[in-house]
Structure 1
Amino acid sequence: MLEPNSKSITVVPAQAVSSKTDEERASWWDQYKVNAAAQLSPTALKVLEADARYIVEKALPGSDGNIDADAWPEEGLRTGMVIGSVQSGKTASMLAVASLALDKGVDVVVLLAGTRVGLWLQTYERMLSQLDGSSRDTAYARSSVRLILPQPEDVLNPDRMGPTSYLKPSKATLAVRQGIPMIIVVPKLDEHLLHLSRMLKNVLSSTILAGGDRATTMLVLDDEADDASVLDSATSDKVTPRFIAALWSGDHHNSSSRDANLRASYVAYTATPQANYLQESHNPLAPREFSAALRVAGHEGEITPRSLTYLEPNGIRGYYCGGDMYYDATSFLSGPLTVSWPYPELRPGETESELAERQEVLRWEAISAAIRSFMVGAAARLLIDGRRYSDVAGRVFPDRNTLQAAMPRAHTMMFHPSVRKDAHFAAAEDIARWSRALPGNERNIELPEGDDGEPIVALDPAGLAVRLQLEEEKWRACYSSFEHSRLALSSFPGAAYPRLDEARWTEVYSLLVNEIFPNVALRVLNSDPAADDHPRFEPTETAEGWRSPEDLLTIFVAGNILSRGLTVEGLATSLFLRSSTEPAADTQMQMQRWFGYRGAHLPFCRVFLLEDQLTLFRQYNIRDRALKSLVLRRMALPQDETAAGTLILEGLDFVATSKIETRKIPLSPGPSPQIRLVERSNPDLASHNNGILVSELGRGRWDEIDAARNVGRIRSEPIGLLELADLLDQLRYTQHDPSLEDELSRRWASLQHSLGLSDPLFRPPGLNPMPYRVRPQSCPYAMAAYLRLWHALGTGHYAPGFHATDKADLPWSQLDGRTTPQFYLAVRSGEKQSTVSELRSLGIGAMIRGIGPNDRLNTLWGSRGYDSSGYFGDQFIDYHYHGRRPVPRLRDGDTWRPRGHPGLALFHVISDDQGGPDMVTLGLGLPHGGPDHIAALRR
């Protein structure tokens, strides 16, 4: 079985259109299903279909196989997002959606195939063979069923036509008259989009649209939608997203459908949707109607209900190998598959030049370890398969099948040295030097020059043989490590990998010298986006016959070109040494090309990197799981909740995306959140808030905290998280009633959906919704939502992406104990007589605090406990009463209560400096152990 994300093309003979009636002809889905079945297991095919049908129903709503034009918004545009994983089969889903949409009667399908010509042609060939069931030689036979633009002869020949030639209005006009659908595959390049929008505007004119018996529908499927399709701001000069919108609007200054009889649906496919969600306010392509997440094959999960993975009966060889397999600290595989070194920091007494020397030595060590692993793995695979590169190198075969019967499987390596393009060539030269150098002498090697005076950047077989002889034990250790990986994988279903016998090392040694060293290639992929420069893994047909692919055994050196849609077949070794001053999760996630359906050769897979980068990759994976889990839960709801907002997480050391300016918003309100907003504008609301305290004082037993000081009272019995949350929600303010539409509010809806809760976490009054007047850390309703969240996570609900406030490096799911605290209610008494009679009768006085603009206290907490009187301060007033130890020390700046200690909700009675009635507010003391994460919100 081929890898599910393989770019290899399976050609099914085209239907004999002339000999079949419309009734006899197979549906688009049935035809595509035959092609997909050649690459997918029956279970994977069921999942592919289920997810594709969900997407089509959301993109092209209707019933009984028909499209309901009335289901579109007034502007005639529906937008949605489909989130996949890196190299997980997003294109397969996109083609499945196209097939089902064609069966449903969509009139125009546009496939936007990335920003590189190589990706465009790759997607075009897959569309032709897998969706249409034809080839460049047989596509003409289906001309009465559909129109494909460009036509094969226009782009699959060496003299490739441009958009002015391959977009043929005459053929498109004929297709419209005949009532047959159009399938258009274009790159996401401005020139192509501009010409396509003009052609569609002319072919689907208002007169033509008005003459139909139903609305005309257009489905635009955008591959790699987080790239050129992102609009960083409303005032951005970037035109690609606007040119995409012009496909249905006819005008890049507008995004609505240009005609009431034209309905458009835009579906964005990506593995990194952070920027797409964050651009909602200004990009017409942002997902507004729906979101979907694609599942991947794994060792657990069902088709229904949806989860991150589904059980693949064929076992590990059909599993998707992603972040959970490489980075999960609880997995026994993460050790064998990732090899890391501590990031070299400046040591005490060390000079900058000494540090630079250590860094250089470490760099050569990483290069050495990666290349040894790559080459030994290649030799071991030849040993297992019994095939040889020398049997196919330079030979011509009479047909493709004969070639493939003799051809070894692809075995490749990828090196990410830097974001700078010039560094790619320098890195390739370093690999060439390494092959010629004695161990430790790499920097002193001069490469020979070619006739043009440029260095010859190629591996030296003789030099490699010398290095193997001198470092044999290190090379042999690689061979042993692959056997250890095989044993670690052996418990998985279907993991019948052949044993790598130590006694056969001499055979591996011989294969290295005679097969690997003479045939390994070194390539720098550093091309212009408009060039067709990409790895080549398919056999090529020449006038003499068939030749093997040029990249069967290749080390690729490149940067971002390897992060957009290109599948590196047989990738076994990845060396990631690039760095960034402000890492962006979406950019670096796309670079993880070692992800994919690698199960067939997983024991040989390795990623070499520094530990700080490995930590980042682990955090990206956790946040990726959190986002997909949210979308999957929403897919199960009766109504899509995309409009409720989608929470995007980032970290202290990285941003979610560099494409949109964001700000970091923590979840936890901190150790001592204080509600500094007071109500004095509306006497009724002020009286209501006072009544909350009076009511609480009437419940349970309240004791003097310290009779000698008269600092206040405390209730003897604590309350739980939910009871305290309900209390906070009772507070009312003239100037603060947060709107549920605010993005700060919508994140709570995202968290509610992530946890599968039926009741909302965030419950503002909703009497007069308005923008936030205080930060979330000072908002009583946000505090209440946080307490409800803590309760849910502590009582069995689960969602990825959280960590505890005192254990930032440990996912919430891996915590040994998840205790939920109790809170003591107390009231701080001041020296001024209260205006509230019930408080006066209890001897509770009001406190004097400075009140600034917008009725906000300059500070809430009073006594700081810095004297020697034995009073610990208002923030720890309950410690003073209970005698609990240890007591947090304000002086040290660590005001968190220890994990397991109770919390505090301290009422404050504030005197109005303008002579009005007293006002009530609260401050909280939270113990460590609550949930936290950092949300990314637009600036």
Structure 2
Amino acid sequence: MNELVEAVAREFGEYPPAALLAPVRARLSEAARGEVDITTIVTVLVDDSLPDLHSAVSSCVRRWTSEAAAAWIEDTAPGSAERRALIWQRLGIPAEAWPELELRYPHHGSPAVIAAPQPWAPWYTPERRHARDFYWRAYRRMLLGKGWPTDVVDKLDEATGEVVQRLADPTRPEPYQSKGLVVGYVQSGKTANFTGVIAKAIDAGYRLIIVLTGTIEILRAQTQRRLDMELVGRQNIGLDDDYLDDSAWLDGEFIEHEIDPNHDGAVPAIRRLTGATYDFKALGKGLGALHYEMTDHGKPLNDPVNLFPANVRIAVVKKNSTVLTKLVGDLKRIPTDVATIPALIIDDEADQASINTIDPNKTTKKDADDRIERTAINARIADLLQLLGRAQYVGYTATPFANVFVDPTDSAGIFPSDFIVSLARPDGYMGGADFHDLTRPHDAAANDPTWSNRAAYVRDLRPECDADVEVEQREALDAFVLAGAIKLLRQERGPYRFRHHTMLVHQSVRTAEHAALAEDFRGLWRTGGYSTPAGLDRLQQLWERDFRPVSVARAEPGAVVPGAFTELEPYIGAAVDRISAGASPVIVVNGAAERDYQQDELDFQAGGVWKILVGGTKLSRGFTVDGLTVTYFARRTAMADTLMQIGRWFGFRPGYRDLVRLYIIRNVTGPGGASFDMYEAFEAIIRDEEEFRGELSRFAGLNSDGAPMVTPRDVPPMVFQQLPWLRPTDRTKMFNAEETFRGVGGQSFSFTMQPPRGDGSGNRRHFRLVEPLLAVLNHVDEFEMRGADDRVLTFAARYGIVAAEEILQIVSGFEWDAKWSFEPHRAALEDAIRRGKLDDFAVLLPQPKTRKPLAVRGFAQSLPVVRRQRQELKYRTGFSGTAVRERDAIEHIAGSPERRGGAAADRLRTRTRGGMILLFASDPVENSRQMKRAEDGPIDPSDLATLFAYALPFDANPLPRVGFRVRSQGGGAIVDAT
């Protein structure tokens, strides 16, 4: 054992902490008598009965796996299989034991990083980190003390390290501004991430921290308090009036550092320029608060002799032009040379307000030098970046589309030119995918909460009349009361504690409508009768038909599920009492300056909040609604990022995720009489975001020549928009990028983005284009696909082999929706053919098992027709419920290593063959006669929509390729890249 310890210490230097070596030594001494060999070591490392040891080992191995700047890593890349092999090798473990260790200590959940080459050698080394890590160690200790699992904290350590190592060295003689973007999930712990980044940045030498929050004070104050409590600490705050009545302050929940930074010169103190009750104000005579302490006045502040002893200044400010103007003005007046101050600007909700939305093509140039016209807040952020030459800008957002469309040539702008870090989905997070069935359950399970997320958590709102609205609101309110009672029962009988229990009502952003909506819910509350037989009978029915089956299927281990409603009755009154306490059960949270009604203030820190919250913007941008269990969502919007930010029902729901309910508006009529569906809109956005994150993951890393596969400038074309009417972000933020090439080998794409039906001439033309293909589909076979529960399902299909040039000619003749372009796909097709990577396609026509084919006028054969009526505004989703499941077969044929389409698909597979599926959907004019004809046949080609999906050969693009053009705001130049 001593030899192993010495070998590890020799190979890894000081990096492997005693947390690994000491527990291994201790366990081995217990487990073995006499000589310890490597077999014994491996046995101990994989023993499931040693959780403390495994936690320590996992922590070390995870850090080693992600290490980017250490002598021992040789030429292995972070996160690579080569790196893992090197770790086991350096630990002296034989190769035959590596697979077992990989299973016990898997590497997953790392962030995906797209980065430009850095103009410096790696500086954030293990030695540098461990030499100064006071604030990071304190933050880590605080998280573990709050009950965060060690593995989760280790992941945070890794993710924050990915960000900090891409900032410029604060002691670097030459100034450099690194600009980056961190992409998380809505309410998924982004604040924890940037708090960790700030802690590490302070330890590394950054001495001015500016945190830009949203545009509202409630969010700024929430962020300030979080940083004060978890990072700044009691000694740095002192006797601030902010927290004299704060329960967490009084209960000792604010972090207390091991030593007082104000009285020990070993670590810098943190000076707060803002507080929980006040934003930044012009300092006036107090400008000395921004005057940095200097040890050697003959050297700049960024010199190590001055930098490390200097104290830190931190300001948490709203994105408000007036506030930012005061901050910029004071920075211009301080005695310290601002060009020498290493500064870190954290921009929370970076896609809100920070983006310059002035389109240069619609703005008159006022200056001869083509000055960029900016919005007020963007201009002040640009002022900060121009003033602080050593400022590093890191934006945080869950909806990054607007940020990647920013002009990349704007030197004073916020385009993330140096790096984009896509955070992994955190453990225990309940996000958009948890409310949708992205992999469709089979029909028998579609309404079973065991298999269907929609059946478990989502309840439809269909407000055809006022009476329906009242019934729906009543049920949502009943669900809130019932869930509260279950929480109290679980709290009494189990390990969970539920300090907050909230319901969110979101119907409009107009503050004028919030008061009326709040009064509606107050009226429902007054007439709820929760102590009467009628009210209890209503709750019992809701329990039996809804909550009980969901909780039986979905409750977490340790979360008690009552056996009968009678067990809940004693807790219903207690829940009602908590909700009723105070001035009102309803709190309006909006931007109104004056209120003409009495209500409680919303303060999650002062005590437990059991309330119904009615609001708009304040509750849809960054603000965390603690304890959110029931959401009544009747809002309409046509922008994807806005819609996702409204999704406050995303987050961590320990002990009560089975109680979460989303009441969401479904088919509604919008402007012009068109219908749309908010639930389907959310699902489309989630698919788009998952595709975007997948693209980032696929392109992360280096090419064989050591250069990045792509840089942040190459990212805009990765943004995908599934619904034509639901833009990724505001139109004013989308004028900089145009995709020109999209090729992904072995991955299918469904081309359903056809223009409105019109008179059916497009349908006729598309059918005539594919008619020659039907003549060669002369073979029939059985193919396989995976069901939602991972069962292997089969489907029959006619198929034939068609030359790639013929497919290219046919699909090039299709017409597409005006908001979507086929050109990037055509470019990829042509490129694969030209390079000899694509010879032909196996074309499949699935054959339904239960529905007979229909005759088609003017065509000799009968064809399988899917029952699908076009809905213009959401027609692009029409293919998802049919071909998505059969894609296993064509992706297998195309060579995807991840798909299995059965023996028939394997026989058809060649290195230069793609896979294609044809599908015909009934698309009649909406009147009963033609609908009947579409159902029974014969069907006219004008009433037949021709849809298809294809996958290029995997070998054509084993690494996805994106070609694009990026438009520049400044001079209108266009840069081509591939």
Q: Distance in 1 between matches of 2:537 and 2:832?
A: 56
What secondary structure, in the 3-state scheme, does the structure 1 residue paired with 2:343 have?
strand
Is 1:378 the counterpart of 2:508? The answer is no
Residue 350 of structure 2 contacts residue 395 of structure 2 at CA under 8 Å; is this kept in 1?
A: yes
- In the alignment, the residues of structure 2 paired with residue 793 and residue 68 of structure 1 have an alpha-carbon distance, to the nearest angstrom, of 58
Question: Which residue of structure 2 lines up, in the alignment, with residue 57 of structure 1?
Answer: 165
- Local SS of the residue matching 1:221: strand
2:261 aligned partner? 142
User: What is the 5 A alignment of 1:430-829?
Assistant: 430-437=520-527, 464-465=529-530, 468-480=532-544, 481-490=546-555, 494=557, 496-511=559-574, 521-527=585-591, 535-539=602-606, 549=607, 552-580=609-637, 583-611=638-666, 612-637=677-702, 639=708, 641-646=711-716, 647-650=718-721, 651-658=723-730, 660=732, 662=734, 721=804, 777=823, 781-784=827-830, 807-810=878-881, 814-815=885-886, 817-819=888-890
Correspondence for 1:224: 349
CA distance in 2, matches of 1:727, 1:418: 46
The 5 Å alignment of 1:114-153 reads 114-134=214-234, 136-137=237-238, 141-143=260-262, 145-146=267-268, 148-151=270-273
Alpha-carbon displacement from aligned partner over 1:88-132 (angstroms, at most 9, x marks no partner): 111111011112222222332222232222222222222223223
Give the drift of 1:219: 1.7
Letter in 2 for 1:110: I
**In structure 2, how many angstroms separate the alpha carbons of the residues matched to 1:204 and 1:811?**
68
**Alpha-carbon distance between aligned partners in 2 of 1:625 and 1:654, rounded to the nearest angstrom:** 16
**Structure 2 Cα separation of the partners of residues 264 and 592 of structure 1:** 32
For the 8 Å contact 1:412–1:572, the answer to whether it is kept is yes
Q: If you compute each CA radius of gyration, which structure gives the higher value, 1 or 2?
A: 1
User: Displacement of 1:293 after TM fit?
Assistant: 1.1
Question: Corresponding residue for 1:320?
Answer: 429
Look up the match of 2:290: 172
Partner secondary structure for residue 37 of structure 1: helix
Corresponding letter in the other structure for 2:827: Y
Q: For residues 500 and 243 of structure 1, do their structure 2 counterparts lie closer, same or farther at Cα, with a shift above 3 Å needed?
A: farther
Q: Distance in 2 between matches of 1:200 and 1:167?
A: 13
Shift of 1:534: 7.0
Contact 1:577–1:610 (8 Å) recurs in 2: yes
> Which of residues 416, 441, 444 in structure 2 aligns to 1:287?
416
The one-letter amino acid paired with 2:153 is L
Segments of 5+ residues of structure 2 without an aligned counterpart are 1-128, 241-258, 296-305, 364-372, 442-450, 667-676, 743-748, 755-775, 777-799, 813-817, 845-873, 895-936, 954-959, 970-978
Offset at residue 217 of structure 1 (A): 2.6
Q: Is the 8 A contact 1:483 1:603 kept in 2?
A: no
What residue is the counterpart of 2:454 in the other structure? 335
CA distance in 1, matches of 2:653, 2:841: 37
Q: Do 1:231 and 1:282's aligned partners in 2 also have CA atoms closer than 8 Å?
A: no
Q: Secondary structure at the match of 1:412?
A: strand
2:275 pairs with one of 135, 140, 155: 155
Letter in 2 for 1:78: S
Q: 1:793 to 1:292 in 2, by over 3 A?
A: farther
Aligned to 1:79: 179
Q: Distance in 2 between matches of 1:793 and 1:622?
A: 27
CA distance in 1, matches of 2:753, 2:629: 50
- In the TM superposition, residue 30 of structure 1 has moved relative to its aligned partner by 1.3
Does residue 419 (structure 1) correspond to residue 496 (structure 2)? The answer is: no
8 Å CA contact 1:333–1:489 kept in 2: the answer is: no
The separation in 2 between residues aligned to 1:936 and 1:429, in whole angstroms, is 52
Which of these residues, 324, 327, 330, is aligned with residue 193 of structure 1? 324
CA distance in 1, matches of 2:399, 2:730: 12
CA distance, structure 2, for counterparts of residue 672 and residue 156 of structure 1: 49
Deviation at 1:659, TM superposition (A): 5.5
Is residue 59–residue 267 contact of structure 1 (8 Å, CA) maintained in 2? no
Secondary structure class of the residue paired with 1:297: coil
Q: Cα 1:92–1:476, aligned 2, differ >3 Å: closer, same or farther? A: same
TM-score, with length taken from structure 1: 0.57
Cα distance 1:421–1:514, how it changes in 2: closer, same or farther (>3 A)? closer
Partner of 1:241: 378
Counterparts in 2 of 1:793 and 1:622: CA distance versus 1, 3 Å: farther
Distance 1:725 1:182, change over 3 A: farther
Contact 2:184 2:424 in 1 (8 A): yes
Unaligned runs of 5+ in 1: 1-21, 210-214, 251-256, 299-318, 345-357, 389-404, 438-462, 540-548, 674-702, 704-716, 730-743, 748-774, 796-802, 824-885, 904-930
**By how many angstroms is 1:487 displaced?**
1.9
Alpha-carbon distance between aligned partners in 2 of 1:570 and 1:899, rounded to the nearest angstrom: 43
The answer on whether the counterparts of 1:525 and 1:533 sit within 8 Å (CA) in structure 2 is no
Q: Structure 1 228/778 Cα, relative in aligned 2: closer, same or farther at 3 Å?
A: closer
Taking the aligned partners of 1:552 and 1:533, their CA distance within structure 2 comes to 10
Residue 198 of structure 2 contacts residue 209 of structure 2 at CA under 8 Å; is this kept in 1? yes
Q: Is the 8 A contact 1:280 1:287 kept in 2?
A: no
Counting only pairs closer than 5 Å after superposition, residues 13-32 of structure 1 correspond to structure 2 as 27-32=134-139
**Change in 2 beyond 3 A, CA 1:779/1:24:** closer
Query: Given the two structures, how large is their TM-score scaled by the length of structure 2?
Result: 0.55
Further displaced range: 479-488 or 287-296: 479-488
Of 465, 472, 477, the match for 1:366: 472
Closer/same/farther in 2, CA of residues 727 and 816 from structure 1, 3 Å limit: closer
* Cα drift, residue 286 of structure 1: 1.8
Residue of structure 1 in register with 2:861 after alignment: none
Paired residue for 2:145?
38
Matching residue of 1:851: none
1:402 aligned residue:
none
Structure 2 SS opposite 1:265? strand
Give how far 1:616 is off: 1.0
CA distance change for structure 1 residues 720 and 523 in 2, over 3 Å: closer, same or farther? same
- Once residues 470 and 727 of structure 1 are traced to their aligned partners in structure 2, the CA distance between those partners, rounded to angstroms, is 65
- Is the contact made by 2:587 and 2:611 (CA closer than 8 Å) also made in structure 1? yes
Aligned positions, number:
617
> 2: distance between equivalents of 1:376 and 1:227?
36
Residue 109, structure 1, aligned to residue 209, structure 2: yes
Q: CA deviation at 1:365?
A: 1.9
Helix, strand or coil: the match of 1:34?
helix
Identity rate, percent: 22
Q: What SS does structure 1 have at the residue aligned with 2:890?
A: coil
Counterpart amino acid of 1:290? F
C-alpha displacement of 1:292: 0.5
Match of 2:6 in 1: none
Corresponding residue number in structure 2 for 1:762: none
Q: Give the CA deviation at 1:205.
A: 5.8
More displaced stretch, 270-279 vs 645-654: 645-654
Say which SS state the counterpart of residue 370 (structure 1) adopts: helix
- The 1:523/1:727 distance shift into structure 2, 3 A limit, reads closer
Q: Partners in 1 of 2:379 and 2:496 — Cα distance? A: 50
Letter in 2 for 1:56: V
Q: Which amino acid aligns with 1:368?
A: R
For 2:230 and 2:951, the matched residues in 1 are separated by 62
Return closer, same or farther for 1:785/1:44 CA change in 2, 3 Å cut-off. Answer: farther
